[in-house]
Amino acid sequence: MLILLPPSETKRSGGVGISIDKAAIIWAALDPARDVLLKKLATLSKSKAKTVKALKLGKNPDADIASLKVLLTGPTMPAVERYSGTLYDALDFQTLSPAGQERAKEKLFIQSALFGLLPATEQIPYYRLSANSSLPGIDLKKHWIKAHVAVWPRMLGPILDMRSKSYAALNPIPDREHYTVEVLDQASGKALNHFNKKAKGAFVRAALEHGLETVDQIPQIAKLAGLSARQSGSVIELIVPTGF
């Protein structure tokens, strides 16, 4: 079973991998769409004011803007390690067993606003661009839906879609077996925010360590992650207990 994750707005800087101008990112079919965005960001970075507005940068944007100028030549690291924050901290890729890390190479994918759908271990540079960014002349949703037409047929097997709504909308899954995930509080039955991300990270970690092959295994994997799960059609609800 394939697992799709959203990226994180927070990212680790640095890296030791080879730059993307020396090593191509997988799925050449996405390269034209990636190139358009890379060139757009390089041009945008020449104006601090325009970059801050388009990318919704914070009070200290200089380092982020500087990174956009060296996207092609900057250091890289695996996407699953580049992204940080609650979900990726709970997943904690670097401490997975060798078997878990190997499953991540084959089963785990991340939806990037800049690079499209990425295998989790694909090498990427530090960057700033989110699904909610407003690049002049670019509709990110139309841009990526068209680009991924040739990629989806290569994604073999059922899909567990754990992306946030904004990233799921950026590249909707075509008509095939897939399940979306909602995270609910056990006591109130309401959707969660912070614990949404923590629960997803813990679930994915358990799925990679123990092997998630079919939707029928989800309750068992959820239990191993300290959660419970129930299925309603194509929706999987992960239930977070008090004190999680």
pLDDT tens-place string over residues 1-34: 999 999 999 999 999 878 888 777 778 889 999 9
What are the pLDDT digits (tens) for 78-121?
999 999 999 999 999 999 999 999 999 999 999 999 999 999 99
Contact 183, 196 (CB under 8 A): yes
Contact 4, 163 (CB under 8 A): yes
Q: What percent of the chain has pLDDT over 70?
A: 100
- Residue 21: what pLDDT? 82
Q: Is the pLDDT of residue 235 over 90?
A: yes
Contact 19, 73 (CB under 8 A): yes
- For residue 122, the one-letter residue type is E
Distance CA 78, CA 95 (A): 14
Contact 125, 19 (CB under 8 A): yes
**Residue position matching structure tokens 């388009």:** 54
- Residue 58: what pLDDT? 80
- Residue 33: what pLDDT? 95
Contact 75, 17 (CB under 8 A): yes
Helix axes 31-44, 48-55, angle to 10 degrees: 130
Q: Band the pLDDT of 217: cuts 50, 70, 90.
A: very high
pTM: predicted TM-score of the whole model, two decimal places: 0.93
What are the pLDDT digits (tens) for 157-193?
999 999 999 999 999 999 899 999 999 999 888 877 7
Contact 205, 150 (CB under 8 A): no
Give, in degrees to the nearest 5, the angle at Cα 70 between 67 and 92. 55
- Residue 223: what pLDDT? 97
Sign of the CA dihedral with 21 first, then 37, 165, and 88 last: positive
- Residue 191: what pLDDT? 79
Distance CA 171, CA 4 (A): 11
- For residue 149, the one-letter residue type is V
| Nearest alpha carbon to residue 237 among 171, 166, 162 | 162
Chain-centroid distance of CA 27 in Å reads: 16
| Nearest alpha carbon to residue 224 among 209, 237, 235 | 209
Report the DSSP pairing between strands 123-125 and 76-78: antiparallel
